[in-house]
Structures are given as structure tokens and as C-alpha cells.
Structure 1
Amino acid sequence: MGALVFIAGKVWRSMAAAEPIDVFPLLRPFAIGMVIVLFPSMLGILNGVLGGIASATNSVVRVQNQTIIQLRDRKAALLAARPENAAYENDDAFEKELGAKDALDFGGKAALYFNRMAYTVQKDFREWMRNVLELFHDSAALVINTIRTFFLIILSIIGPISFGFAIWPGFEGTLTNWISRYINTFLWLPVANIFGAITAKIQVMMLNLDITQIQAGGNMEVADMGYMIFLVIAICGYFTVPSVAGWIVAASGMSNVLRFATNKASGAANTAASVAGGPRVS
């Protein structure tokens, strides 16, 4: 209906001014109307093109995550096999070392019990902290994807309305604004996948370094601390994904509407100045 009213207004204006009708500009409302009618198909094509990018980046993250799981299990096995930890990790080894103490050496046995307790508490605390940070790390990516999905649903619902408004003068920018915002929001997932692949690669490197230090008999508390600090950095990095996606496709605002209003106001001022014989407004 908006397209018909717009076309009728243009035609009547040309007929009233006894001017030839320029048909080419009138084809734009028809094209937008066809896009609105075929909006699900257009949306499917757009999702298909952008979905290929998301699938390609997601496969890279999946491979890196599998490598992280394998290295993490290997690191835990190496830690448990270290001689200084064998008595604390294995009950049989602990009982054997406890039996090696003199029956009257209550202080030595108590020290052995306290050392094992301190080792267990430190180990459990580090594992708890690491699990919490890994949970937040995985949740950050899920939050980005959930918000992205919500935005895409809203844009899909209001898409035909935005296209309809684009028919009218001054609202042409709503068409490009909707397309840019949809692509920008869809790219959140590929950007998050790329960031996840980079952080996963660094995690693989850090786990390999930890394994090397374990085999060399190094201190693992420092290595675990560095790994957890990196997880905090990675969590904060996920919240920069929308900004990075904006560097790829910038979502414009109401600049076209303001530009149209400014041009019309300037034209009206120039017309009034010409009638009054005053200076023109530039």
C-alpha cells in the first residue's frame, strides 16, 4: 500500500506539472515490495552465505578444544606420577611410606598426614579455581551466541517493516541500516569463533609448556597461576566481539534521515531567499 501511494503521488505530481513520467525511480518500490513478499527466501540466502563462515570457524575451534582435553588429561597423569606426589596421590604408596615410619614416631606420622592434607587442599583449590574460570570462559562464548540469536530473531521479525519504511523519502537509510545490522550481528559468532581459536591455541601452547616443566621437575603452582590469569584475559576478550564485528561491517544509524531533512530545509531556505531577493543559504 505504501508503494502504491508513493508511486501514485509521483505520477500525479508529474501529470500536474505536465512533465514526462520518469519510470526508473518508480521501480524501486516494486523491488522492495518483491523483497518483502519473498523475505523468507531472501533471509535464507543471507543466512546460508553467512552461515558458511560461522561453520568454517567453528570447526577450527572444535579441533583446538579436543587437543586441550587430551593435553589436560596428560598433564594430570604426569602430575600424579611425580615421585614427590606419589605418596599423596596413591593410597597404597601413602600407607607404604607411613609404615616405613617408626611406630613411636608420632610427630613424623602427623607431619605426613598434614602434608598430604595440605597437598590435597592446594590441589583441590587450584582445580576448583581452574574449573570455575573455564566455566566462565565457556559461558562467555555462550552468552555472546545467545544475545546474537535474540538480536537476529528481532531483526528477522522487523525486517519487512524496515523495508517498507525504506520506500518513503527520508527513510531510505532503513534498508541499508537493517542489512548492515543483520550482517554485523551475524558476524558475532564467526568473530567469537576466531577469538576462541586463538585463545585455544595459546592454551595448547601453555599446556605443552606445563607438561615440559612437569617432566623437568619444575614448580607447577606458577604455571597453573599463569593459565588461570590467561583464562581471565580470555573471558574479558569475549566482550570485545561486538566491537570487532563493527569493524567489519559498520551499522549506520539515522544519518540518511538527518541528511534528507537538512537538504530539504536548505532547499526551502534557498527558495525563500530567492523569492525575497536575499542571499542564498549554502
Structure 2
Amino acid sequence: MKNRWKVTSFAMAFAWSGLMPALAHADPVWDRIRSSGHLVCGAIPSDPIGSWVDPKTGQWEGYEIELCRQMASDLSKTMGKKIEPEFRETGWNTVVLDIQSQKIDIWPGMSATPERQKALSMVGPIYTLAMCGMVGRNFQTKDTWADLNKSNVRIATVTGTSVETAFKKTAPEAQQVTLAGYSEVTMAVQSGRADLMGADVLRCLNVAKSAPNAFSGVVYPKPIQSLDSSAGVLKSADHLTAWLQKWADEKRTSGDVKKLFLSVFQKAGLDASKIPPDVQF
């Protein structure tokens, strides 16, 4: 009887040891996507270029939306079943909590700040955004960082953004004028308080369309410097995280991500012809 107990105990321990790796690597998000047939992505109604609702069709559009659609399409091949993209409204002030509460599965584009890395798995970069500057009408500059990195150059950026951090790092000798929002930054350049509005390629394209007479042009300082954007997913989504990282690397290397952005720019009515050919996404 005693020996039989030992054998039974050993068998149970062996069985549990075989199950532990599977349990330890369970991914609730991956399993839910496969079970439901839906990849739930966040969408922000007022996020210019990133996501918006087309008033004619009532459908979501934008590069964040197209990234999710492509992810769902490729997940369909991986999972061997149709995965439909589903969009649920979120906001910049709630997106992290919405992922943690599993209201949404993913938000495909945000900076991997230390705070977000503590709260989420940040996968990426999913895409990169080249840094650029909207040039004031009375300011003359060439298209190099060396020309901007001078003590008599005044660069205006929005306080607390990754763009502010990047311009301070890349042009440390310039005078940095940091303001609360892009409307204040625009006014600073127009009034002569600043020489250049520091931004990323999306912002520069949008400003060039909405305020064509406010600036003399746009400059992409060389060598091209870019800001990384990552996808945020649940911390325990190990399987999805690994799949997304491989997906992002392949899509960026193949140039598919750049094609996706250029297609969205066309839909948004933005003039992408002025983007230097060496700018990637």
C-alpha cells in the first residue's frame, strides 16, 4: 500500500510537471482572439491621420486602423481561421487601462515610455516617424541637424512629448521653447518668438495642409532621425507579443508599412510628394 502511494504520487507529480510549461505560457489574449474570431483594436475618433470615422461611409479610417486590419488578416493565416478586426473607442487618457481591463486587445502605435513599459508589453517598433520642422517665414536654414544645433536657433515643441525630448537631445545647443500645445507652438513661430516648429512627419504633413501660409516650408534635418512607435498589449500576452514582434520586423523590412502610410496619406488628402525618399516608416 505504501509503495503504491509512492507510485501514484510520482505519477501525479510527473503529470503536473508536464502541464506547468503550458500553464505558465498561457496567453488569454491570443486564446480569446482565436476563440472569438475578432482582434479588438482601440480607435480614437479625433486622432488626426491615426484614426477617424469617414462621414460618408461611417467606417473607421487611418493608419492605426489599417495596421489593425493588416494584423487581423495575417493572424487569419497563422490561426487557420478568419479573424475580423473590431474597433472600440478609446482615448489617450484611457488606452492603457482599456488594454489592462481587456476592453481592447491592442493599440498599435504609441511611444514606449517607462510608465507604459511598466503597465504593458510594448512591442516594436511597429513603425517610425521621421522628425521634421515647420520653418518660420523669416528664418533661413539648411536641411542638416548641424544648422539647427546652434545657440541662435529657437525651436518650439510641445511640453512633455517625445518630440520635445528628441529635439532637445538632437539639437542641444539650440534654444528650446516648450509650450502647452501645437496651437501655441504655431503662434510662437508666426509671431517670431520661435524660428521652427519641431514635430514628426505626420504633424508636418497635417500642418502643411491646414495652414499652408503660416510657414515658409518644411525641413527634414539630415541625417534623418526617427521616433519609434510601439504596440501596447497586455503584459501576459506572451504569444501575441512574440507574433507581433516578428510581424512588425517583417512588415517594416519589406516596405509594407511605408506603403500603408502612403495610402492613408492619400485618403486624408495629404501631400506626401514632399517627403524625402529616405524617410521610412
TM-score, scaled relative to structure 2:
0.24
In terms of fraction of residues, the more helix-rich structure is 1
Which structure has the greater CA radius of gyration? Answer: 1
Give the number of the structure whose residues are more often strand, by fraction.
Answer: 2
Q: Name the TM-score, length of structure 1 as normaliser.
A: 0.24
